Structure 1
C-alpha cells in the first residue's frame, strides 16, 4: 500500500535515541503495546480499518503561527513566526464509534504541523490537564475493567470501583472528569499536552515544559440539563457550523517547569504559579467528517518531533508510540 511521505515519521536524532528505550520500557512495565491494543479490541470490539482508541472524531485543517519569543527556549522551526499548515483531528476517547457526545470522557485534539523541508511535528492532546495512568499497566487495567459484562452488555461498576481503589494514579483524571461536564463544542475546550517535554534552544540549553491550547472562543461546558437533553451526535456539526462563521483560534500557552516539578508522571499537575508564555496561535479554517479526509490516514504519534523538541522518559509518552504503530498497522491492512 502506498503511504504519502507526509504521513511517515520524521524523527530528530534525540527522538531516535529515545526510541531505543521504548520496548525496554514496555517490558519493564509488564504489559506490551500489543496487549494494550488487544485489550482495547476486547472492550470496544474490532472495527475494521478504524482506530482502536479515539475512534470517533472529526477532521480539520488550518495553520499555526509560532511566536518568536519561544525561541528563547527552543530552536524548533515551529516558532519561526511564519504560517505553517496544520492537519487536525478532534476525537472522543475510547474505541466505541457510537459513543455519545455527552459521554463524560476525555476529548482529544491531535495536530500534525507541516514544517519546511518535509519535516513534521505532532502534538496529541487531551482536554484534561492530566492523564489517567502513570504507567502502561494502569492504562491496560483500566481498559480491562471497562469490558462489558456478557449478560448486561455494560461495564461492571464493581470492577471499575475495584480498579480505582487499587490504582490511585487513575484518580486525578477520573475526579476531573466527574466534576467537569464535557464541552459544548470542540471550539470551546482547552487541550493539554499532558506530558512534560524538553525544549532545546540554539545554545543547547534544555528547558522542561508543558503546553496547552486555550480557545479564543472561551471555555464552555454543557449544563447538567444539556448533558441529559443533548443528542448523541452534535459535536461535529456544531464545529462545522462554527467555522462557517469564521476561523476558530486557540492560543498556545507554554508553562515553564521548575526544579522538582514532576517530569515523568502525566497524572501529576505542576503548581499553578509557574511562569507561562503565549508562544503561538492555532487557526482552524475548515472542518469535515473524518471518513476519507486527510486526518483519517495520519498516525498522530506524539513522538514524531522535529529538532528542538524532545521527549522526557515518561513511560506513558514512550509507550504511546509502539501502541499507535500497532493500531496504525491494523488500520492500513484493513483489520
Structure 2
C-alpha cells in the first residue's frame, strides 16, 4: 500500500543539495532563536564539561550493520535499502548536559546512528525513545532551558519558573506526560527509538511520501518497575549494553510509518494516527558496545540533516534548527571548550 503524495516532486536543485526542504542557511523566521542562544542556555542549565556535548552528554558507543529491505524502494531510492550490509556507528545517550545524570532519570534516551553508505555517503538518524518531542518550535526548547537554570540560592531550578513554563507552553505537554507515565528502560536494548520528525522518502521518479520511522527492539520493550526505579544504581545502562552485545547480536527492526494527506509534517509534538500503514524496511544489528571515550562515536556530530539521496527533511522547524544547534555545540567541544 502506497501513501505517496500524487504529483509531489522535489525540485532538482533541492535533491542535489541533499537538504530537501531545509531552510536556507542564514535565513531566520521572525521569532526564530539562534543556535548560540540555545547552546548558551544548555550551558547555563547544566554547566559545561569541556570537550563534551552540551546535550546528551552521557553516552555509550556501539557498532554494527544495517540491512535494508529492497521492498522499501517503492518509497525511497536510498542506498540504505539495497539489501546489502551497511556499516553503522551508533551512540546511546541520556538527554541533558549532565555527564553524571542517573540512569533512573525520567528523561529521554537517545539512539543516534551513522550509516556509512557505499561511495562514502552518509545517512544520520538521531532518535529518542519518546514518540513525540517536547517542543513544536525552537523557542519552546530555549524557554525550557532558561526555566531550568538553577537558582543560585538552592542550586536547583526555581519551581515557579518551571510551573510558569508549563502553563505557557502547551506544546511541551505531550512528551512530558509520556515520560511521567512511563518508567525508563532497564537497558538501552529494551527500548524503541522514534525518528520524532516527519521526513520525505523520494523514489526513483522523484515522487515523495511523507514518513516517520521507529526502531523496535527484538529483545522486547521493557520498563523498570517502581521498586527497581527506586533501588537501581545511578549507572547501569552502559554496563548492561556492553554485556548484552558480548552475549550476541542485538537487533532492532526499522518500521516505516506512511503518512496520509493532512498528517502534520511540521510539528514533532503531534503523533500521527495509529491506523497509518506501518512497514518493516530493514534491521539494525549491533555487535559491540564500548565506553564512548576514544571510541568511534565520540567525535561524530550526529546532525540529523546529514542525508543521502532518497531521504529528505520535512518542513519541521525543530528539525531544521537541530543542524545549526549541533554545529555550534560541535565547534565548542572540538575547541576543547
- Look up the SS of the partner of 1:217 in the other structure: coil
> Counterpart of 2:73?
71
> Which digits, 9 at most, give the CA deviation of each residue in 1:211-259, with x for residues without a partner?
0000000000011111110000000001111111101000000000000
- Alignment match of 2:168 (pick from 159, 166, 169): 166
> Which digits, 9 at most, give the CA deviation of each residue in 1:31-51, with x for residues without a partner?
111100000011111111000
User: After the TM superposition, which residues 277-292 of structure 1 pair with which residues of structure 2 at under 5 Å, given as runs?
Assistant: 277-292=279-294
Within the alignment, does 1:256 sit opposite 2:281 as a pair? no
> Counterpart of 1:122?
124
Deviation, 1:13, is 2.2
Mark the CA change 1:19 to 1:272 in structure 2 (over 3 Å): closer, same or farther. closer
Q: TM-score, normalised by structure 1?
A: 0.95
Deviation, 1:64, is 0.2
Q: Give the length in aligned residue pairs.
A: 324
Mark the CA change 1:268 to 1:23 in structure 2 (over 3 Å): closer, same or farther. farther
Separation in structure 2 between the aligned mates of residue 302 and residue 160 of structure 1, nearest angstrom: 29
Question: Conserved in 2, the CA contact under 8 Å of 1:248 and 1:283?
Answer: yes
> Which digits, 9 at most, give the CA deviation of each residue in 1:190-210, with x for residues without a partner?
000000000000111100000
Mark the CA change 1:59 to 1:152 in structure 2 (over 3 Å): closer, same or farther. same
> Counterpart of 2:18?
15
Separation in structure 1 between the aligned mates of residue 45 and residue 199 of structure 2, nearest angstrom: 31
Separation in structure 2 between the aligned mates of residue 224 and residue 204 of structure 1, nearest angstrom: 50
> Counterpart of 2:306?
304
> Counterpart of 1:33?
35
Deviation, 1:28, is 2.7
- Look up the SS of the partner of 1:287 in the other structure: strand
The two structures, once aligned, show a CA RMSD in angstroms of 1.2
- Alignment match of 1:53 (pick from 55, 62, 79): 55
Mark the CA change 1:286 to 1:192 in structure 2 (over 3 Å): closer, same or farther. same
> Which digits, 9 at most, give the CA deviation of each residue in 1:138-164, with x for residues without a partner?
000011111111111111222111101
> Counterpart of 2:233?
231
Separation in structure 2 between the aligned mates of residue 76 and residue 86 of structure 1, nearest angstrom: 15
More helix by share: 1
Within the alignment, does 1:145 sit opposite 2:171 as a pair? no
Question: Conserved in 1, the CA contact under 8 Å of 2:198 and 2:314?
Answer: yes
Structure 2 unaligned spans of 5+ = 1-13
Mark the CA change 1:321 to 1:299 in structure 2 (over 3 Å): closer, same or farther. same
Structure 1 unaligned spans of 5+ = 1-10
